[in-house]
Chains A and B, each alone.
Chain A
């Protein structure tokens, strides 16, 4: 069984982002980019299934600018077998990404597609669900546990107030939550091997997908900064201040 994993190139999670002065978006010049952390978890999960002998091949797909090849290379260094890069310089919306992934699914016929539940840049949390709708496959989102039972995919989901376990009839779509696993470090030998693994380059046109945005970003602004608080010396003073503020 093949597993398809979607990996997105995003601003590194440790970087404090800056908004462009013209408010047209986030400034990406000279900013460190990395693989979306939820996607790393997706790659890790796919690799574990392959290591258990439950999958035969892990394919990493990224859709984005030419530099997204680096993100695929990271997945290959972790252990994925090959990559597909769909090059596009247009800002891609979840529906466009889902349509491209659907075309790749049709071509590759994986038994499982694993995606991050969301990307940390736009926090859309839509691509996995849209892909499930387009393929007509069952979906297990926000997975904190994933097991394969024959052709069934058992997913424990992190939902409000607890855990929900669902059994999906494969092929299926799974999106990862934080607690699913702890992604490995790419080992030095695998980093060296990654260089030789193939990355297939495509364009959205090749899949017949129109990626023209359907949304228009009006402006992007920084969150308003918090006002500094005050320090109080005693409980009496605290109660006094709270009364002053009219909250008690």
Chain B
């Protein structure tokens, strides 16, 4: 057997083609829309969005992560990463890729639901780009849900009664439906969590906006005696997390890829600026301090991208990519934050005006180190893997 070293460290040809296509779509069609919107816009108006969505559908890029059989694009995790990286390169790209051209994926855990749940909820959501939400976190915390979840679901006949509240829930306002994790067992027991689909027809759900550093604000969602039919339970009672785990791991790679795309776009802006801006008799690009910022940014972004691709590739092969996903998530989001900081420094005052997308991206990237699991939790995951230790259990006789 001969070892062929060629072709091992590059994307397959079809993914490169897809990448070029999306890059071009962003630079032409999406840019035309993006240029007309205010700095902090979180959606494009219907008359601008619909033509974009029609083009995206023709490209076969609609609901990227959702399976083809339900009307999605059915992309592999690696392909989603490639598309998401490019699609992030617009003002609202950190949270609304390509200004919303590719529709919206419902929370992926729905695809572990029953045929009936998928038909009633997932398929219409994909078709009409419905707003949907995914609610785990509570005022008591989000990173350690087994401990923190207090929202209760009491079984009463053929339904469950939900009481409690969820925090930091994006897209909750105006959502058609959402996924809610609630406690059906004892407090503190990971096995006591179940997963439910709630929809807007159910009474007792209220939302309240939580203003934050980014324009797309999350919500507090409160459940007061919300009656959820038993057939809306996703998975089995007490096994709420088992429907979520592998699917949630695979979310982290595209999350990472989006931040890399934004940082790369920021770096392009900074490079362009450095080549044109003159101070003290020469271009910024001729000054070593600036050159190093640019070189470091490129080096770090390439490293983060390869880690993200590697994690996605591993997940696509069906291997456990949990550690790889954590590594990629931390590396990409922290790198992107650093790169944005440098880019703003290169642009100086211009970097923080609303003329440029940089300051918006800077704010949004700050959240990316917290959302989808904060850096520290992912570091903990990696450390536990290396050290072979879980959380220390209290002694039974203590």
Task: Give A contacts to B, CB under 8 Å.
Answer: 14, 34, 70, 73-74, 77, 184-192, 194-195
Flag B27-63 by CB within 8 Å of A: 1 or 0 each.
Answer: 1000000000000000000000000000100111100
26 contacts between A and B (CB under 8 A): A14-B27, A34-B20, A73-B17, A77-B17, A184-B58, A185-B21, A185-B24, A185-B25, A185-B55, A185-B58, A185-B59, A186-B17, A186-B21, A186-B59, A187-B58, A187-B60, A188-B18, A188-B61, A188-B73, A188-B75, A189-B60, A190-B60, A191-B17, A191-B18, A192-B14, A195-B14
Distance in angstroms between the alpha carbons of A34 and B27 in the assembled complex: 15
- In angstroms, Cα B59 to Cα A190, docked, is 9
Q: How far is the CA of A74 from the CA of B19 in the complex (A)?
A: 12
List the A side residues contacting B21 at CB < 8 Å: 185-186, 191
Residues of chain B lying within 8 A (CB to CB) of residue A192: 14
What count of chain B residues pass the 8 Å CB interface test? 16
Report the Cα distance A190→B21, complex, angstroms: 12
Contact of B13 with A by CB under 8 A: yes
Q: Determine the residue in chain B with the shortest Cβ distance to A195.
A: B14
Nearest chain B CB to A123 CB, angstrom units? 22
Residues of chain A within 8 A (CB-CB) of B18 are 188, 191
Q: Which residues of B contact A74 (CB under 8 A)?
A: 17
Question: B residues engaging A (CB < 8 A)?
Answer: 13-14, 17-18, 20-21, 24-25, 27, 55, 58-61, 73, 75
Question: How far is A154 from B209 in the complex, measured between Cα atoms in Å?
Answer: 61
Smallest beta-carbon distance B223→chain A, Å: 39
- A-side contacts of B75, CB under 8 Å: 188
Q: Inter-chain contact count A-B, CB under 8 Å?
A: 37
Q: Contact between A188 and B59 (Cβ–Cβ < 8 Å)?
A: yes
Q: What distance in Å separates the Cβ of A17 from its nearest Cβ neighbour in chain B?
A: 15
Residues in A with CB closer than 8 Å to B14 are 191-192, 194-195
Q: How far is the CB of B359 from chain A (nearest CB, A)?
A: 26
Q: Which 10 A-B pairs have the closest CB atoms?
A: A188-B60, A187-B60, A185-B59, A191-B14, A185-B21, A191-B17, A187-B59, A189-B60, A77-B17, A186-B21
Chain B residues within 8 Å of A184, by CB: 58
Complex contacts, B58 vs chain A, CB 8 Å = 184-185, 187
In the complex, how many angstroms separate the beta carbon of B136 from the nearest chain A beta carbon? 31
Task: Report Cα–Cα, A11/B75, bound state, in Å.
Answer: 30
Q: How far is the CB of B272 from chain A (nearest CB, A)?
A: 11
A223 CA to B335 CA in the complex, in Å? Answer: 39
Inter-chain contacts of A195 with B (CB < 8 A): 13-14
> B102 CB to closest chain A CB, in angstroms?
11
Q: How far is the CB of A161 from chain B (nearest CB, A)?
A: 30
- Whether A73 contacts B13 by the Cβ 8 Å rule is yes
